Amino acid sequence: MIVQSASMLAQPVVYTGHRVVAPLGAETEDLDLYRMRFGSPQFDAASFRTAVSDSELTGRGGAHIPAAWKLSAAYEAGAGGTVVINGAEGEPGSAKDASLLQLRPHLVLEGAIAVADAIRAAELVVWVHESSSVTRRCIADAIRERRADLDARGLTVRMLLAPEGYVGGESSAVIRALRGGPALPQHSRDRARPWGEGPAILVHNAETHARLGLLALGADPVATSLVTVVESSAPLEFQRRTVIEADRSSTIGAVVAEAGAPAPAAVLIGGCGGTWVAWNDAEGLPLDPTALRDLGYSLGAGVLHLLPRGRDGMVETVGILDWLASESARQCGPCIFGLPALSDAVRATAAGRRGDGVDRVASLIAGRGACRHPDGALRMAMSAMEVFGP
């Protein structure tokens, strides 16, 4: 039963620079202050499993798989598994997970500990980029504050450093790395059970764990959405990013205005694997993930890339495609050959030159990759053709 409402972020968090640093004037919430604001967990392990099952919570790492599916599969896998807090945001511009780990690490830990209890896990792993020094320090301090509680549960905690790059934070890449392999995506037959056989390796990003923490505290976990508004008028290292918590009735237009950004020509909804939408069509779209999905869009990793007026959307798209091709896992043909071919085809089309048509290249890529990286690039490219092509 939901007994209260709670906010994940007290106010918009503004970042500048490609690598996330703590915003000016922000302070990490220690355990005493966190308990004063949020209270204590409301459920035991069994009732928490029921609460997750009854909730509408989906993962906020991009795939939006129902949290109940993964929790149920992990519980059925038996005791002794691993819970992973995935703080490796590979999506360019995204800063929502870092903002939570830096400002409210105990809310993230609350969810991870509740999940660990619910599936009878033996280990908690924090997966973060080596370059994220501020994030690593904040979560390490929070773990130290909870050390006695973690020891009493018999829950060991490790912090592992993820390789830099787009695919290093993909959930199957995390699982592969924890098993001693390279941090590269791998094919999974069951999206709710990507670890396959044996004890579970349950991976959620930091925001999903924070939302599970809200649920454990008796608050509504889906009343809001966290989004990063990225103003793309500057090179990546100088871009201004604003993390905003929006309620379910908010629109994209309202969030862009709250971020203090001028109205763009178009917006890329969901990040690099998302969908371009002309501003006149995007402005009134709801930010609720379920409502967006019903309209044929996905909030993805919670990123809104703004295309400033006067910028060429096709040129921007080609730049993103080139970057995605350089960031591929290079494990299968659709990544090694398909992504560069797609970028070249879009570049040729934008310049009015002949070459392999985008549709032909798309037919060779769609659904054929070992992971979803090529499909995301293709979705973004095809939406650009529709919005900017004319």
Both 295 and 317 in one domain: the answer is no
pLDDT classification of 184: cutoffs 50, 70, 90: confident
| Of 333 and 81, more confident | 81
Both 246 and 290 in one domain: the answer is yes
pLDDT of residue 92: 78
pLDDT of residue 116: 98
CATH number at residue 281: 3.10.20.600
User: In the block, which residue shows the tokens 């999206």?
Assistant: 191
pLDDT classification of 338: cutoffs 50, 70, 90: confident
What integer best gives the mean pLDDT of the chain?
A: 87
Any domain includes 355: yes
199 CA to centre of own chain: 24
Both 209 and 258 in one domain: the answer is no
Both 22 and 140 in one domain: the answer is yes
Return the axis-axis angle of helices 373-388 and 358-365, rounded to nearest 10°: 160
**Residue 174 predicted with pLDDT over 60:** yes
CATH number at residue 317: 1.20.1440
pLDDT classification of 325: cutoffs 50, 70, 90: confident
Single out the residue in 275, 307, 339 at which a domain terminates. 307
Extract the tokens encoding 85.
């807090």
232: Cβ–Cβ under 8 A, 6 or more apart, which residues? 239, 305, 306, 307, 308, 311, 316
| Of 292 and 371, more confident | 292
pLDDT of residue 2: 41
User: How many Cβ atoms sit within 10 Å of the Cβ of residue 335?
Assistant: 25
**Residue 4 predicted with pLDDT over 90:** no
Parallel, antiparallel, or unpaired: how do β-strands 266-269 and 275-278 relate? antiparallel
Contact predicate 71/115, CB 8 Å: yes
Whole domain around residue 135: which residue ranges? 13-216
Any domain includes 115: yes
C-alpha neighbours within 13 Å on the C-beta side of residue 178: 28
pLDDT of residue 73: 94
Any domain includes 265: yes
Percent of the chain as helix, strand, coil, to the nearest 5: 45, 15, 40
Both 105 and 153 in one domain: the answer is yes
Amino acid at site 345? A
pLDDT of residue 1: 38
Both 338 and 282 in one domain: the answer is no
Bridge partner list, 84: 125, 203
Both 119 and 208 in one domain: the answer is yes
CATH number at residue 117: 3.40.50.11540
What total of structural domains would you count in the chain?
Answer: 3
Both 86 and 178 in one domain: the answer is yes
pTM (2 d.p.): 0.91
pLDDT classification of 329: cutoffs 50, 70, 90: low
pLDDT of residue 149: 95
Buried b / exposed e along 269-306 (16+ C-beta atoms within 10 A): bbbbbbbbbbbeebbebbbbbeebeeeebbbbbbbbbb
Share of the chain above pLDDT 90, in %: 54
**Residue 25 predicted with pLDDT over 60:** no
Report the distance separating Cα 376 and Cα 166, nearest Å: 12
Share of the chain above pLDDT 70, in %: 90
Any domain includes 1: no
**pLDDT tens-digit series, residues 102-141:** 999 999 999 999 999 999 999 999 999 888 888 999 999 9
Both 285 and 373 in one domain: the answer is no
386: Cβ–Cβ under 8 A, 6 or more apart, which residues? 276
Any domain includes 5: no
Lowest mean pLDDT among 99-108, 176-185, 277-286: 176-185
Lowest mean pLDDT among 39-48, 190-199, 205-214: 190-199
Bridge partner list, 225: 246
pLDDT of residue 63: 76
Both 229 and 211 in one domain: the answer is no
